[in-house]
Amino acid sequence: MTPENQAIAEQVSAHKTVSWLDQEWPWWPLLPLYPYGQRRTLVRELIPNQIWSFEQLQGLYYVAVPVRLTVVKVPGGLMLFNPLPPTPELRRALADLEATHGNVVTIVLPTASGLEHKLSLPAMARAFPQAEVWVCPGQWSFPISLPSSWLGIPARRTKVLQEDGFPHPDSCTWLPLGPLDLGLGRFEEVACFHRASGAVLVTDALVGIEAEPPALFDLDPTPLLFHARDRGDQPLEDSPQARRRGWARVVLFATYLKPGPLVIPPLLEVLRNAFRPGTLSPKAHFGLFPFAWQPGWEAAAQERLGKNGPLLQVAPVLERLVFPRAKDVLLEWLDEMRRLKGMRWLVSAHFSDIVAFKPHHVRALSESISRRPWAINQASWSFLGSVDQRLLSLGVVPKDPQAAFRD
């Protein structure tokens, strides 16, 4: 075991004694995603005395991936980037950091459309009543667009990124991406370059994904073991191979929604394999497993997984549903990033926690995006393409996502 993996293992082991009360998140019905009202938190120091990762699992039908709050050392205290449910466990870990590095002085919601972060913001703001709150422009809610204050975001101490400036301009550079018109609302996120650490913080636009499952699953491997199976009558059996197999399939679900090698079997077949001995538990969903993986799924997964570390990428679900007609906007944003002096790392809100991110990495990604066919409709991309084309034909999404924002 490498020194890094040993350190991760020790951190995970230290978290295994947390009581269920420490994991409690009472507002989970607002966005009823796994693991519902019990949220474990894994804390890791990514860059000594500068950047920390607070991770929780979140997903639907065990398609669960890490969602991350990034804590940043700034002049005067700490900045919270991308809020998470402030469970007692999470708040206690933040209090430990505050004791050494100063109070939480800033909370940033850097996305207009990320519900998993937006719904946590009111509770996080109440947990730190002295902190200044900054939100991305264009906040919206569905099905009814309500003022942010109606959603529990404190109006008196909330500012809007760009419109009211930016927090900590002496230590951070801010890079907006968008806005883009999605029909029901808009996509926009604001990246933060923390100059002292060389880390670029993003929400959804860029991710790194590797073949090894994230350490967070050591606290709860159930989603991986569930999806490692081929039929519902197979029990959940834990092994390194099962975890990697399950993770590869979770990645396919999370990035493509309905990947090409996946078939939904008939209901009678699903029921025939359900309610068998060894699967009669809520964890196994009583054997209900409405998935049938076809040959070729491993090859499809390898396109998303880095073998020797995280593979830097734009997730297909964003490429095909957010940027299909806005590739140039993304490339301009990447070009702006490439010019940042001292940039070394990427910290995203999802998947791998820290990814090498120097100018040559950004250049290689931009060149790949420019050369290859963009927002295709074949193979694993076909479902995403059909959704986009249907929304386009119905007039839900515009042909030009920038038109509404041009002067």
Contacts of 376 (CB under 8 A, 6+ apart): 385
pLDDT digits over 380-396, tens only? 999 999 999 999 999 99
Contacts of 283 (CB under 8 A, 6+ apart): 222, 226, 236
Residue 260: count other Cβ atoms within 10 Å of its Cβ: 17
**Side-chain half-sphere CA neighbours of 188 within 13 A:** 24
* Closest to 115 in 3D by CA, of 240, 28, 22: 28
Rounded Cα distance, 233 and 278, in Å: 8
* Closest to 306 in 3D by CA, of 379, 209, 202: 209
Q: Which two tokens stand for residue 404?
A: 């509404």
* Secondary structure of 309-337 as H, E, C letters: CCEEECCHHHHHHCCCCCHHHHHHHHHHH
Contacts of 165 (CB under 8 A, 6+ apart): 159
| Model pTM score | 0.93
* Sites in the chain below the pLDDT cut of 70: 1-16, 142-147, 149-150, 407
pLDDT at 41: 97
Residue 33: count other Cβ atoms within 10 Å of its Cβ: 16
Rounded Cα distance, 94 and 91, in Å: 5
pLDDT at 14: 47
Residue 75 has φ and ψ, to the nearest 5°, of -55, 125
Rounded Cα distance, 273 and 34, in Å: 23
pLDDT at 13: 40
Using left for φ > 0, alpha for ψ between -120 and 50, and beta otherwise, residue 277 falls in beta
pLDDT at 387: 97
Rounded Cα distance, 52 and 69, in Å: 8
pLDDT at 16: 54
Rounded Cα distance, 302 and 203, in Å: 23
Rounded Cα distance, 207 and 223, in Å: 20
Residue 399 has φ and ψ, to the nearest 5°, of -70, -35
H/E element holding 71? strand 63-74
Rounded Cα distance, 183 and 49, in Å: 42
Rounded Cα distance, 392 and 381, in Å: 16
Q: Give helix 327-338 / helix 359-371 axis angle, nearest 10°.
A: 160
pLDDT digits over 118-176, tens only? 889 999 999 999 999 999 999 887 666 666 766 778 889 999 999 999 999 999 999 99
Please check whether residue 82 is in contact with residue 117, taking contact to mean a CB–CB distance below 8 angstroms. Answer: yes
H/E element holding 107? strand 104-109
**Side-chain half-sphere CA neighbours of 255 within 13 A:** 27
Using left for φ > 0, alpha for ψ between -120 and 50, and beta otherwise, residue 83 falls in beta
Give all domains of the chain, ordered by start, each with its CATH number.
3-210+309-367 (3.60.15.10), 215-302 (no CATH)
Please check whether residue 58 is in contact with residue 65, taking contact to mean a CB–CB distance below 8 angstroms. Answer: yes
pLDDT at 143: 60
Rounded Cα distance, 7 and 74, in Å: 25
Q: Which two tokens stand for residue 352?
A: 């791998």
Rounded Cα distance, 172 and 188, in Å: 19
Longest dimension (CA), the chain: 64
